[in-house]
Protein backbone atom coordinates (compact mmCIF):
# COMPACT_ATOMS: atom_id res chain seq x y z
CA UNK A 1 0.00 0.00 0.00
CA UNK A 2 1.16 3.52 -0.74
CA UNK A 3 -0.97 5.67 1.51
CA UNK A 4 1.56 7.72 3.42
CA UNK A 5 4.33 10.03 2.30
CA UNK A 6 6.88 7.64 3.79
CA UNK A 7 5.51 4.66 1.87
CA UNK A 8 5.54 6.65 -1.34
CA UNK A 9 9.02 8.00 -0.73
CA UNK A 10 10.23 4.47 -0.24
CA UNK A 11 8.61 3.42 -3.50
CA UNK A 12 10.10 6.32 -5.47
CA UNK A 13 13.50 5.52 -3.94
CA UNK A 14 13.38 1.87 -4.92
CA UNK A 15 15.68 0.38 -7.55
CA UNK A 16 12.70 -1.19 -9.32
CA UNK A 17 11.06 2.20 -9.81
CA UNK A 18 14.27 3.86 -10.97
CA UNK A 19 14.86 1.15 -13.56
CA UNK A 20 11.26 1.28 -14.79
CA UNK A 21 11.26 5.07 -14.93
CA UNK A 22 14.24 4.99 -17.32
CA UNK A 23 12.54 2.30 -19.38
CA UNK A 24 9.36 4.38 -19.72
CA UNK A 25 11.28 7.48 -20.82
CA UNK A 26 13.15 5.43 -23.40
CA UNK A 27 9.91 3.88 -24.66
CA UNK A 28 8.41 7.36 -24.97
CA UNK A 29 11.50 8.74 -26.69
CA UNK A 30 12.03 11.27 -23.88
CA UNK A 31 8.99 13.17 -25.13
CA UNK A 32 6.02 14.42 -23.14
CA UNK A 33 3.11 12.23 -24.24
CA UNK A 34 0.22 14.68 -23.60
CA UNK A 35 2.18 17.41 -25.44
CA UNK A 36 2.79 15.00 -28.28
CA UNK A 37 -0.93 14.21 -28.47
CA UNK A 38 -1.50 17.95 -28.76
CA UNK A 39 1.02 18.24 -31.57
CA UNK A 40 3.72 19.79 -29.40
CA UNK A 41 7.01 18.25 -28.44
CA UNK A 42 8.53 18.70 -25.02
CA UNK A 43 11.79 16.89 -24.61
CA UNK A 44 14.21 16.82 -21.76
CA UNK A 45 16.96 19.32 -22.43
CA UNK A 46 20.13 20.33 -20.73
CA UNK A 47 19.28 23.97 -21.20
CA UNK A 48 19.53 25.67 -17.86
CA UNK A 49 17.09 28.28 -16.67
CA UNK A 50 18.87 30.82 -14.45
CA UNK A 51 15.64 32.22 -13.04
CA UNK A 52 14.17 28.84 -12.16
CA UNK A 53 17.53 27.47 -11.04
CA UNK A 54 17.03 24.21 -12.92
CA UNK A 55 16.81 22.72 -16.38
CA UNK A 56 14.08 24.31 -18.47
CA UNK A 57 12.08 21.20 -19.23
CA UNK A 58 11.84 18.35 -16.82
CA UNK A 59 10.18 15.07 -17.54
CA UNK A 60 8.29 13.10 -14.96
CA UNK A 61 7.08 9.53 -15.21
CA UNK A 62 3.41 9.72 -14.28
CA UNK A 63 1.03 7.03 -13.03
CA UNK A 64 -2.05 7.22 -15.25
CA UNK A 65 -4.02 5.43 -12.56
CA UNK A 66 -2.82 6.83 -9.25
CA UNK A 67 -0.43 4.88 -7.10
CA UNK A 68 -2.57 5.43 -4.05
CA UNK A 69 -5.73 4.06 -5.66
CA UNK A 70 -4.07 1.35 -7.74
CA UNK A 71 -1.04 0.01 -5.85
CA UNK A 72 -1.19 -3.15 -7.99
CA UNK A 73 -0.34 -1.03 -11.06
CA UNK A 74 2.61 0.72 -9.40
CA UNK A 75 5.16 -1.07 -11.60
CA UNK A 76 2.93 -1.75 -14.61
CA UNK A 77 4.60 -0.10 -17.59
CA UNK A 78 1.23 0.29 -19.33
CA UNK A 79 0.09 2.50 -16.46
CA UNK A 80 3.06 4.84 -16.85
CA UNK A 81 3.76 7.64 -19.25
CA UNK A 82 6.34 10.36 -19.70
CA UNK A 83 5.00 13.88 -19.08
CA UNK A 84 6.57 17.30 -18.74
CA UNK A 85 6.25 19.14 -15.44
CA UNK A 86 3.63 21.51 -16.90
CA UNK A 87 1.40 18.68 -18.08
CA UNK A 88 2.00 16.81 -14.84
CA UNK A 89 0.74 19.74 -12.80
CA UNK A 90 -2.29 19.98 -15.07
CA UNK A 91 -3.04 16.26 -14.75
CA UNK A 92 -3.00 16.44 -10.99
CA UNK A 93 -4.85 19.76 -10.80
CA UNK A 94 -7.60 18.27 -12.89
CA UNK A 95 -7.92 15.04 -10.97
CA UNK A 96 -7.10 16.29 -7.50
CA UNK A 97 -8.40 19.82 -7.61
CA UNK A 98 -9.11 19.90 -3.89
CA UNK A 99 -5.82 18.30 -2.88
CA UNK A 100 -3.25 20.06 -5.05
CA UNK A 101 -0.69 20.50 -2.30
CA UNK A 102 -0.82 16.87 -1.40
CA UNK A 103 0.58 15.99 -4.82
CA UNK A 104 3.09 18.79 -5.13
CA UNK A 105 6.19 16.65 -4.77
CA UNK A 106 4.73 13.39 -5.94
CA UNK A 107 6.70 11.49 -8.58
CA UNK A 108 9.53 14.02 -8.55
CA UNK A 109 11.66 12.27 -6.01
Instruction: Please say whether the beta carbons of 24 and 77 come within 8 A.
Output: yes
CA distance 17 to 40: 27
DSSP SS3 for 5: helix
Shortest Cβ 10–Zn ion spacing (Å):
17
Instruction: Pick out residues in 64-83 that bind Zn ion (CB under 5 A).
Output: none
Instruction: Please say whether the beta carbons of 59 and 32 come within 8 A.
Output: yes
Alpha helix (H) residue ranges in 28-105:
33-37, 85-95
Our finding on whether 84 is near Zn ion (CB under 5 A) is yes
CA distance 2 to 33: 25
Shortest Cβ 51–Zn ion spacing (Å):
20
10 or 102: CB nearest Zn ion: 102
Our finding on whether 107 is near Zn ion (CB under 5 A) is yes
Shortest Cβ 62–Zn ion spacing (Å):
4
Among 24, 32, 74, 80, binds Zn ion (CB under 5 A): 32
Shortest Cβ 15–Zn ion spacing (Å):
20
Binding site for Zn ion (CB under 5 A): 32, 34-35, 42, 62, 84, 87, 107
Amino acid sequence: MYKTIEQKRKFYDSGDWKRLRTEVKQRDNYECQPCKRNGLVSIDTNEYSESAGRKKIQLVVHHIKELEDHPDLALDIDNLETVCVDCHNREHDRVFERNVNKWEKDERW
